[in-house]
């Protein structure tokens, strides 16, 4: 379990990158208020997923617009899947891990 910081660090509908145990994780704050965490690196050509646009289901990589489901990590455009991590808000803080 890791505390990544205050949830207000992430604007609604956007994502930010965090380094956790040497690994880059993109955390998104959906417009419904919930959080999602996925691996920060696009498996296609290494794009920064935290810079991608999201809705309540998917993230779209900013480089070549491939899309992944934020809950399952499955690609919507024929790419390999990305890792997803459990994440939640607790008293205004972002908690990563079970």
Partner 1 sequence: MTQKLVVIGNGMAGARTVEEILARNGDYAVTMFGDEPYGNYNRIMLSNLLAGVETEDGIFLNDLAWYRENGITLNTGTRIERIDASARTVYDAEGNGTRYDKLIIATGSHAWVPPIKGIHRPGRGYHQGVFAFRTLDDTRGMIRYARDHERAVVIGGGLLGLEAARGLQSHVSHVTLLHAMGHLMNTQLDERAGEMLKGSVENKLGIDVIVNAMTSEILGKDRVTGVKLGDGTVIECDVVVVAAGIRPNTAMAADSGLSVERGIVVDDQMRVAGHEDVYAVGECAQHRGDLYGLVAPLWDQAKVLADHITGTTGVAYEGSRVSTKLKVAGIDVASMGLREPETDEDEVIVYNEPRKGIYKQLIIRDNVLVGATLVGDNRKAAALIQAFDRGLPLPDERAELIFDIGGAVEESPADMPDDVQVCNCNGVSKGAICGVVTGGCKTVSGVMDATRAGKGCGTCKPLVQRIVEWANGGEAEEDPAASWYVPGVPMPKPELMIAIRKYRLTSVSSVFEKLVPGGTHDAKSKMGLASLLKMMWADEYVDERDARFINDRVHANIQRDGTFSVVPQMKGGVTTPGQLRKIAEVAEKYDVPMVKLTGGQRIDLLGVPKEKLPAMWADLDMPSGYAYAKSFRTVKTCVGSDFCRFGVGDSTALGIALEERYQGLEGPGKMKLAVSGCPRNCAESYVKDVGVVAIDGGKWEIYVGGAAGAHIRKGDLLTTVSSADEVITLTGRFLQYYRENANWLERTYSFVPRIGVDRIREIVVDDADGIALALDAAVQQAVQAYRDPWKERSDPATPGQFRTSLPLTVLPQVPVRG
Structure tokens at 79: 């790419």
Rule CB under 8 A: choose which of 54, 82, 87, 95 binds partner 1.
Answer: 54
Please say whether the beta carbons of 41 and 24 come within 8 A. Answer: yes
Rule CB under 8 A: choose which of 3, 9, 72, 97 binds partner 1.
Answer: 9
Q: What is the DSSP letter of 48?
A: B
**Contact status: 2 vs partner 1 (CB under 8 A):** no
How many residues interact with partner 1 (rule CB under 8 A)?
A: 41
**Contact status: 76 vs partner 1 (CB under 8 A):** yes
Nearest to 20 by CA among 4, 7, 6, 5: 4
Structure tokens at 27: 């955390």
Residues that bind partner 1 (CB under 8 A): 8-17, 19, 22, 24, 26, 31, 40-41, 45-56, 58-60, 62-67, 76-78
């Amino acid at each position: 379990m890791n505390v990544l910081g205050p949830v207000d660090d992430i604007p609604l509908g956007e994502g930010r990158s965090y380094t956790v145990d040497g690994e880059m994780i993109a955390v998104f704050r959906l417009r419904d208020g919930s959080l999602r965490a996925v691996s920060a690196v696009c498996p296609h050509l290494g794009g920064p997923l935290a810079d991608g646009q999201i809705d309540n289901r998917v993230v779209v990589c900013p480089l070549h617009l491939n899309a992944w489901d934020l809950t399952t990590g499955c690609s919507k455009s024929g790419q390999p899947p990305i890792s997803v991590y459990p994440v939640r808000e607790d008293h205004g803080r972002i908690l990563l891990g079970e």
